Structure 1
Amino acid sequence: MDAKREFTSVDLAALVEEFGTYEGAKVDKAYLYGDDLVRLKMRDFDRGRVELILEVGEVKRAHTVAPERVPDAPGRPPQFAMMLRNRLSGADFVDVEQYEFDRILEFIFERDDGTTRIIVELFGQGNVAVTDGEYEVIDCLETVRLKSRTVVPGSRYEFPDTRTNPLTVSREAFYREMDDSDTDVVRTLATQLNFGGLYAEEICTRAGVEKAMDIADADEAVYDRLYDAIERLTIDVRNCNFDPRLYFESGDEEDDADRVVDVTPFPLEEHEAEGLAAEAYDSFLAVLDDYFFRLELEEEDDSDPTEQRPDFEEEIAKYERIIEQQEGAIEGFEQQAEQLREKAELLYAEYGLVDEVLSTVREAREQDRPWDEIEERFEEGKERGIEAAKAVVDVDGSEGTVTVTLDGEHVELAVHDGVEQNADRLYKEAKDIEGKKEGALAAIEDTREDLEEAKRRRDQWEVDDEDDGDDDEIDEADSKDWLSMPSVPIRENEPWYDRFRWFYTSDDYLVIGGRNADQNEELVKKYLEPGDKVFHTQAHGGPVTVLKATDPSEASSHDIDLPQTSIEEAAQFAVSYSSVWKDGRYAGDVYAVDSDQVTKTPESGEYLEKGGFAIRGDRTYYDDTPVGVAVGIQCEPYTRVIGGPPSAIEGQAETTIELDPGRYAQADAAKRLYREFREQFEDETFVRKIASPDRIQHFMPPGGSRIAEE
Structure 2
Amino acid sequence: MDPKRELTSVDLAALVGELGAYEGAKVDKAYLYGDDLVRLKMRDFDRGRVELLLEVGETKRAHTVAPERVPDAPGRPPQFAMMLRNRLSGADFAGVEQYEFDRILEFVFEREDGTTRIIVELFGQGNVAVTDGEYEVIDCLETVRLKSRTVVPGSRYEFPDSRTNPLTVSREAFDREMEDSDTDVVRTLATQLNFGGLYAEEICTRAGVEKAMDIAEADEDVYDRIYGAIERLALDLRNGNFDPRLYLADEGDDDNESESDENGGDGDSSPDRVVDATPFPLEEHVELASEPYDSFLAALDDYFYRLELAEDEEETDPTTQRPDFEEEIAKYERIIEQQQGAIEGFEQEADALREQAELLYAEYGLVDDILSTVQEARAQDRPWEEIEERFAEGADRGIAAAEAVVDVDGSEGTVTVELDGERIDLVAKQGVEQNADRLYTEAKRVEEKKEGALAAIEDTREDLAEAKARRDRWEEEDAAAEGDDDEDEDDDRDWLSEPSVPIRENEPWFDRFRWFHTSDGYLVIGGRNADQNEELVKKYLEPGDKVLHTQAHGGPVTVLKATDPSEASSSDIELPESSIEEAAQFAVSYSSVWKDGRYAGDVYAVDSDQVTKTPESGEYLEKGGFAIRGDRTYYRDTPVDVAVGIQCEPYTRVIGGPPSAIEGQAETTIELEPGRYAQADAAKRIYRRFRERFEDESFVRKIASPDRIQHFMPPGGSRISEE
Which residues in structure 2 correspond to 1:141-180 (within 5 Å)? 141-180=141-180
Indicate which of 298, 309, 314 corresponds to 1:286: 298
- 1:132 is aligned to 132
Q: Quick check: 1:704 aligned with 2:708? A: no
- 2:352 is aligned to none
Give the CA deviation at 1:302: 0.9
Give the CA deviation at 1:614: 3.2
In structure 2, distance between residues paired with 1:256 and 1:242: 26
Deviations for 1:376-404, whole angstroms, at most 9, x for unmatched residues? Answer: xxxxxxxxxxxxxxxxxxxxxxxxxxxxx
Which residues in structure 2 correspond to 1:40-439 (within 5 Å)? 40-216=40-216, 218-252=218-252, 258-272=272-286, 275-303=287-315
- After superposition, the Cα gap between the structure-2 partners of 1:235 and 1:500, relative to the gap in structure 1 and judged at 3 Å, is same
Q: Give the letter for the 1:45 counterpart.
A: F
- 1:492 is aligned to 505
Q: Give the letter for the 1:267 counterpart.
A: P
Which residues in structure 2 correspond to 1:536-685 (within 5 Å)? 536-557=549-570, 560-685=573-698
- After superposition, the Cα gap between the structure-2 partners of 1:151 and 1:603, relative to the gap in structure 1 and judged at 3 Å, is same
- 2:471 is aligned to none
- After superposition, the Cα gap between the structure-2 partners of 1:579 and 1:474, relative to the gap in structure 1 and judged at 3 Å, is same
- 2:437 is aligned to none
- After superposition, the Cα gap between the structure-2 partners of 1:583 and 1:148, relative to the gap in structure 1 and judged at 3 Å, is farther
TM-score (norm 2): 0.69
Give the CA deviation at 1:15: 0.6
- After superposition, the Cα gap between the structure-2 partners of 1:585 and 1:212, relative to the gap in structure 1 and judged at 3 Å, is farther
- After superposition, the Cα gap between the structure-2 partners of 1:518 and 1:88, relative to the gap in structure 1 and judged at 3 Å, is closer
Preserved contact between residue 143 and residue 668 of structure 1 (Cα < 8 Å): no
Give the CA deviation at 1:687: 3.3
- After superposition, the Cα gap between the structure-2 partners of 1:252 and 1:544, relative to the gap in structure 1 and judged at 3 Å, is closer
In structure 2, distance between residues paired with 1:707 and 1:185: 50
In structure 2, distance between residues paired with 1:257 and 1:160: 40
Preserved contact between residue 129 and residue 141 of structure 1 (Cα < 8 Å): yes
Cα root mean square deviation, aligned: 3.0
Between 1:484-493 and 1:568-577, the stretch displaced more is 484-493
Give the CA deviation at 1:66: 1.5
In structure 2, distance between residues paired with 1:221 and 1:199: 20
- 2:518 is aligned to 505
Between 1:560-569 and 1:542-551, the stretch displaced more is 560-569
- After superposition, the Cα gap between the structure-2 partners of 1:198 and 1:669, relative to the gap in structure 1 and judged at 3 Å, is farther
In structure 2, distance between residues paired with 1:657 and 1:559: 36
- After superposition, the Cα gap between the structure-2 partners of 1:588 and 1:144, relative to the gap in structure 1 and judged at 3 Å, is farther
Aligned-partner SS, 1:72: coil
- After superposition, the Cα gap between the structure-2 partners of 1:519 and 1:91, relative to the gap in structure 1 and judged at 3 Å, is closer
In structure 2, distance between residues paired with 1:190 and 1:71: 35
Deviations for 1:520-557, whole angstroms, at most 9, x for unmatched residues? Answer: 22223333344433332233211122222333344445
- After superposition, the Cα gap between the structure-2 partners of 1:647 and 1:227, relative to the gap in structure 1 and judged at 3 Å, is farther
In structure 1, distance between residues paired with 2:681 and 2:109: 27
- After superposition, the Cα gap between the structure-2 partners of 1:29 and 1:597, relative to the gap in structure 1 and judged at 3 Å, is closer
Preserved contact between residue 536 and residue 557 of structure 2 (Cα < 8 Å): yes
Preserved contact between residue 537 and residue 578 of structure 1 (Cα < 8 Å): yes
Structure 1 residues without counterparts, runs of 5 or longer: 306-470
Give the CA deviation at 1:79: 3.7
Deviations for 1:281-312, whole angstroms, at most 9, x for unmatched residues? Answer: 2311111011011011111111479xxxxxxx
In structure 1, distance between residues paired with 2:53 and 2:156: 25
- After superposition, the Cα gap between the structure-2 partners of 1:145 and 1:647, relative to the gap in structure 1 and judged at 3 Å, is farther
TM-score (norm 1): 0.70
In structure 1, distance between residues paired with 2:52 and 2:101: 22
In structure 1, distance between residues paired with 2:542 and 2:147: 55
Aligned-partner SS, 2:21: helix
Between 1:573-582 and 1:206-215, the stretch displaced more is 206-215
In structure 1, distance between residues paired with 2:271 and 2:674: 51
In structure 2, distance between residues paired with 1:162 and 1:512: 53
- After superposition, the Cα gap between the structure-2 partners of 1:285 and 1:563, relative to the gap in structure 1 and judged at 3 Å, is same
- The count of residues paired between Structure 1 and Structure 2 equals 542
Preserved contact between residue 165 and residue 194 of structure 2 (Cα < 8 Å): yes
Indicate which of 518, 525, 534 corresponds to 2:531: 518
Which residues in structure 2 correspond to 1:434-449 (within 5 Å)? none
In structure 1, distance between residues paired with 2:533 and 2:654: 23
Between 1:96-105 and 1:483-492, the stretch displaced more is 483-492
- After superposition, the Cα gap between the structure-2 partners of 1:157 and 1:506, relative to the gap in structure 1 and judged at 3 Å, is same
Q: Give the letter for the 2:501 counterpart.
A: V
Preserved contact between residue 25 and residue 43 of structure 1 (Cα < 8 Å): yes
Give the CA deviation at 1:81: 3.1
Aligned-partner SS, 1:22: coil
Between 1:586-595 and 1:192-201, the stretch displaced more is 586-595
Give the CA deviation at 1:650: 2.0
